[in-house]
Amino acid sequence: PKDTHHPELTVQAARPKLRRPPLFKVLLLNDDYTPMEFVVLVLERFFGMNHENATQIMLHVHQRGVGVCGVFPKDIAETKVSRVNDYARSHQHPLMCTMEEA
């Protein structure tokens, strides 16, 4: 009997290696003057934390000097840093927010 099977030709789709966009840690720095309650408010307002979690992060920064508020893509991290620093300055507090690549 005649062979009716035709091997199929397939084209393998290329799978280019995807590079994940870099993430940035948004950091809060300790200082001697910003009231603890203000720092907690900032963490709630700008990072969506509940009061308990915000208090825990604030105390960590107070005791250790620096702490991570969250990890975000670059443009989001930049916006958070600007908003926190503007908000702190508008209330005459020296609170400093910065970012670094995760």
Which parts of this chain interact with ligand TYC (CB under 6 A)?
Answer: 28-32, 34-36, 39, 58, 61-62, 95
Q: Which residues pair with 97 in a beta bridge?
A: 28
User: What DSSP string describes 46-66?
Assistant: HH---HHHHHHHHHHHHHHSE
Please report how close the Cβ of residue 35 comes to ligand TYC at its closest, in angstroms: 6
Please report how close the Cβ of residue 93 comes to ligand TYC at its closest, in angstroms: 8
- Three-state SS for 43? helix
In the bound state with ligand TYC, the residue whose beta carbon lies nearer, of 14 and 89, is: 89
Residue carrying the six token digits 């910065």: 98
Please report how close the Cβ of residue 80 comes to ligand TYC at its closest, in angstroms: 14
